[in-house]
């Protein structure tokens, strides 16, 4: 079964709304989680690395003030897309390794549609 | 940082034929190379992976080869079936704790019967 739970699976909202996506590790503790974004017919692009108890590390070109990441516990990381606009519409997916240097487990992803 | 190149972007084969997808990576420190299959709207599914201390790994109809010197690795699918049709991604990762997978751009495989 899935070891990473991601919610919600689908969000449709108006431009200017902030949207929070949750990523939970089930049955294991994740000191690190990764957030990816995938536009249609494109690859998974790493947005940021979420670190429990410390600031996230963002990839070049990703606005940290727009994509707020909180990793307050060993089982939960959240990504908040602030003041979302149509260009933020995408498939957002989180992942975490169960143990360092082991395969990453992916959540089911969140399809975000901004009208 | 790591950069992964993947080819071809699309691949069409007849059922029963073999399919080969190739990837190259840039960071010699990378030591873990998984392959994922992704169906539309779903999360990537790990189908096979290989570590840098191994040159080849096989799982039924799927095999992966790794050439560390040349920094490239390949996915081989034999006796393809229509249900193999999907998007396939290669990825690479270093061995440091907290290192993320970096993905190739993907290959859309179409298997016609």
pLDDT of residue B94: 83
Which residues in A lie closer than 8 A to residue B46 (C-beta atoms)?
103
Which residues in A lie closer than 8 A to residue B34 (C-beta atoms)?
103
Name the β-bridge partners of B73: B23, B66
Please give the structure tokens belonging to residue B13.
Answer: 């084969």
pLDDT of residue B22: 98
Mutate which: B87, B98, B100, vs A, most A CBs within 10 A: B100
**Closest approach of chain A CAs to the CA of B56, in angstroms?**
18
User: How far is Cα B77 from Cα A102, in angstroms, rounded to an integer?
Assistant: 24
What are the 10-residue block averages of pLDDT along chain B, 113 residues in total? 96 98 95 94 94 92 96 98 97 84 97 96
User: How far is Cα B28 from Cα B69, in angstroms, rounded to an integer?
Assistant: 9
| Per-residue burial over B25-46, b = 16 or more CB atoms within 10 Å of its CB, e = otherwise | bebeebbbbbbbbbeeeebbee
**Closest approach of chain A CAs to the CA of B7, in angstroms?**
13
pLDDT of residue A102: 72
What does residue B83 show for φ and ψ, rounded to 5 degrees?
Answer: -70, -5
pLDDT of residue A84: 96
Give the three-class secondary structure for B104.
coil
Q: Which residue of B42, B98, B103 is in closest CB contact with A44?
A: B103
Residues A13-22 have a mean pLDDT of: 97
Which residues in A lie closer than 8 A to residue B104 (C-beta atoms)?
43
| Per-residue burial over A19-55, b = 16 or more CB atoms within 10 Å of its CB, e = otherwise | bebbbbbeeeebbbbbbbbbeeeebbbbbbbbbbeee
Q: Does A100 have pLDDT greater than 80?
A: no
Which residues in B lie closer than 8 A to residue A93 (C-beta atoms)?
43
**Closest approach of chain B CAs to the CA of A101, in angstroms?**
6
Q: Do the Cβ atoms of B103 and A103 come within 8 Å? A: no
- Please report where in the chains the tokens 């993947």 appear, as a residue: B6
Q: Do the Cβ atoms of A93 and B43 come within 8 Å? A: yes
Please give the structure tokens belonging to residue A42.
Answer: 């494109």
């Amino acid at each position: 079964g899935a070891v990473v739970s991601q919610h919600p699976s689908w969000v449709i909202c108006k431009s200017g709304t902030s949207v929070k996506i949750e990523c939970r590790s089930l049955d294991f503790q994740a000191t690190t989680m990764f957030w990816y974004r995938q536009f249609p017919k494109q690859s998974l692009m790493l947005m940021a690395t979420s670190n429990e108890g410390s600031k996230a590390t963002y990839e070049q070109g990703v606005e940290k003030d727009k994509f707020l990441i909180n990793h307050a516990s060993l089982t939960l990381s959240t990504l908040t897309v602030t003041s979302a606009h149509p260009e933020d519409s995408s498939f957002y997916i989180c992942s975490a390794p169960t143990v360092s240097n082991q395969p990453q487990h992916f959540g089911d992803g969140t399809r975000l549609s901004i009208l | 940082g790591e950069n992964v190149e993947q080819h071809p972007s699309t691949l069409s084969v007849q059922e029963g034929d073999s399919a080969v997808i190739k990837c190259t990576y840039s960071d010699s420190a990378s030591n873990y190379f998984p392959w994922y299959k992704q169906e539309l709207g779903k999360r990537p599914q790990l189908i096979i992976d290989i570590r840098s201390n191994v040159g080849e790994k096989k799982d039924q109809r799927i095999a992966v080869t790794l050439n560390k010197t040349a920094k490239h690795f390949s996915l081989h699918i034999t006796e393809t079936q229509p249900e193999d049709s999907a998007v396939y991604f290669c990825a690479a990762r270093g061995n440091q704790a907290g290192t993320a997978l970096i993905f190739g751009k993907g290959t859309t495989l179409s298997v016609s019967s």
